[in-house]
Amino acid sequence: MTSLAVNLIPAKNLRPPTTRYRKGVKAPSLSMLKRGKQNKKLGDKITKGAWKGMTMYSLTLEERATCPSDCQQWDNCYGDNMPFAHRFDHTQTDFVARLEQQLSELNKKHTNGFVVRLHVLGDFYDGKYIVQWQLWLHQFKNMNVFGYTHHTYTSTLGAMINNINRLHPDRFRVRFSDDWDTEFSAHVIQSKDLEYIEHGVICPEQLGKTDSCATCSYCWSSDNPVIFIEH
């Protein structure tokens, strides 16, 4: 009888550890903060709410490499469909200095205020980085910030982020993604589940009710959850 030897190879962790588009990762520069008009979803000039008249900018980091590993969208990150986005490398020694220099220039330019949409891709990668944004809020009085994080509300880094939300409720508005432990949250659902939504507002831009974030303002003006349709 001929025996058949079978080599059992352990299954590898196929979860991508970082962006699928390595060519899109750029060295820090003085143009890391992009004008909102370069992103149709964001828009340029804010038209309503407390930040009306302010110009929108955005910062994009590297997805997954800067994100908490328990992110519920890890395997379905919309960054997988953004091959042309410029992601800036937070591991470079001059990353913070370059970003601070550009924020300083914008603070001088926009005396009536400007808005930073934090982390179109990516997230707060450590506590020191979170503290840096708190310091910048004190340093740059014309700066306002909004965005989302996948750090949970009760985690160490999540608590640090929420502390800045509480200290600067009119200038720093970062929602907690997929975290129903707080009202100030954001959630991603599939379109087939829309009928089950009982709490929160579905993104008006996705429903065609407004043109962009700049013409909406819900995410930084309301404390209630916002719901995004998976895309």
Rounded CA-CA distance 225/165 in Å is 15
For the chain, the structural domain boundaries read 24-180
Q: Summarize pLDDT for 35-61 with one digit per residue, the tens.
A: 999 999 999 999 999 999 999 999 999
Specify the pLDDT at position 18.
85
Q: What is the DSSP string of 139-154?
A: H-TTEEEEEEE-S-TT
End-to-end CA distance of the chain: 56
Rounded CA-CA distance 118/62 in Å is 12
Contact 17, 64 (CB under 8 A): yes
Asked if residue 196 has pLDDT above 80, the reply is no
Specify the pLDDT at position 16.
72
pTM above 0.85, yes or no: yes
Q: Summarize pLDDT for 95-132 with one digit per residue, the tens.
A: 999 999 999 999 999 999 999 999 999 999 999 999 99
Contact 85, 79 (CB under 8 A): yes
Mean pLDDT of all residues belonging to the chain: 90
Specify the pLDDT at position 20.
87
Q: Kindly state the percentage of the chain with pLDDT values over 90.
A: 72
Q: What is the tally of helices (H) and strands (E) in the chain? A: 4, 10
Q: Where are the extended beta strands (E) located within the chain?
A: 25-26, 34-35, 55-58, 87-88, 114-118, 143-149, 172-177, 185-189, 201-202, 226-229
Specify the pLDDT at position 5.
39
Asked if residue 7 has pLDDT above 60, the reply is no
